[in-house]
Amino acid sequence: MRVAAAHPDALVLTSRLWQTNAVALRSGAEALLVDSPYFPDELEALPGVLAQAGFEIDGLVATHGDYDHLLGRLAFPGLALGLGEPTVERFHREPGAAQRELREQDARLYVERPAPLALGQVQALPLPGKLELGGDEIELHPGEGHTSDGMALMARFCGILACGDYLSSVELPTISPGGSLAGYRATLARLGRLVEEAETIVPGHGPAHHPDEALRLLDEDVAYLDALEAGSERPSLPAGRDSGEQRRLHGENLRTLSS
């Protein structure tokens, strides 16, 4: 797990798997963990790493309901997990799906965990809305499209925009079952306004960006969605995201939209 300071009150923690990012935010004596790393050794080390940096975690938030973003409770089992209301609704529609998908991925990677994922106490967060942290507020913005749920967190006090699975330089836009092109476009439009007001944009996967870079990626993502909507089987993909794996993801996008 790689740890980098994006601000004196913000740390980005990057897992070995899929460059998955978690973000620790601090205001005063309170600290919040957004999303999670993946591997058991990363999760085991997480409380100590954060405490050593002066981040005593009081709460957990996940940007959406995909299993690789939900593992914070394995590191902090006594804390409630904050989820946007659409994510809570997703879990009601798909009971046990995240836990099942995690077990399947662990089996593919030969990962053994000391305990299964249990979501435990869940706090539903209204979108749009705000979350208090210390003496500051974190804005909560809807982030549907990649999935049926999702939210982005804007911490203006430290200039951080944690946007979930959007604006990645290593991964194409993906439309998972339950997601939609229209929702993805709406989220990109929403994020475009927020990016211009942020200092550091942290995607769910891949390096953090300055606003200019994030806006460039946003334009590339819109162009890709245009090609996807047109049904192009071999579109021109952005530099850095033109690989066999990303072509495979494009094929999955086409199948999702045609189903």
Q: What are phi and psi of 95, to 5 degrees?
A: -60, 130
Return the pLDDT at 259: 82
Hey, CA dihedral for 249, 208, 106, 102, is it positive or negative?
negative
Nearest to 4 by CA among 200, 161, 178: 200
Residue 45 is inside which H or E element, if any?
A: helix 40-52
For residue 118, count other CB atoms closer than 10 A to its CB. 9
Domains in the chain: ranges and CATH: 2-258 (3.60.15.10)
Residue pair 23/34 in contact (Cβ under 8 Å)? The answer is yes
Nearest to 40 by CA among 121, 100, 101, 109: 109
Residue pair 82/61 in contact (Cβ under 8 Å)? The answer is yes
Q: Which residues of 148-161 are buried (b: 16+ CB within 10 A; e: fewer)?
A: bbbbbbbbebbbbb
Per-residue pLDDT of the chain (259 residues; tens, 9 = 90+): 999 999 999 999 999 999 999 999 999 999 999 999 999 999 999 999 999 999 999 999 999 999 999 999 999 999 999 999 999 999 999 999 999 999 999 999 999 999 899 988 899 999 999 999 999 999 999 999 999 999 999 999 999 999 999 999 999 999 998 999 999 999 999 999 999 999 999 999 999 999 999 999 999 999 999 999 999 989 999 989 999 999 999 999 999 998 8
Coil, helix or strand for 46?
A: helix
Residue 5 is inside which H or E element, if any?
A: strand 2-7
Coil, helix or strand for 244?
A: helix
Return the pLDDT at 186: 97
For residues 87 and 231, give the distance between their C-alpha atoms in angstroms, rounded to a whole number.
29
- Burial tier of 138 (Cβ tally within 10 Å: 0-12, 13-18, 19+): buried
Residues 6+ apart with CB under 8 A from 242: 236
Coil, helix or strand for 31?
A: strand
- The two tokens of residue 136 are 């500051």
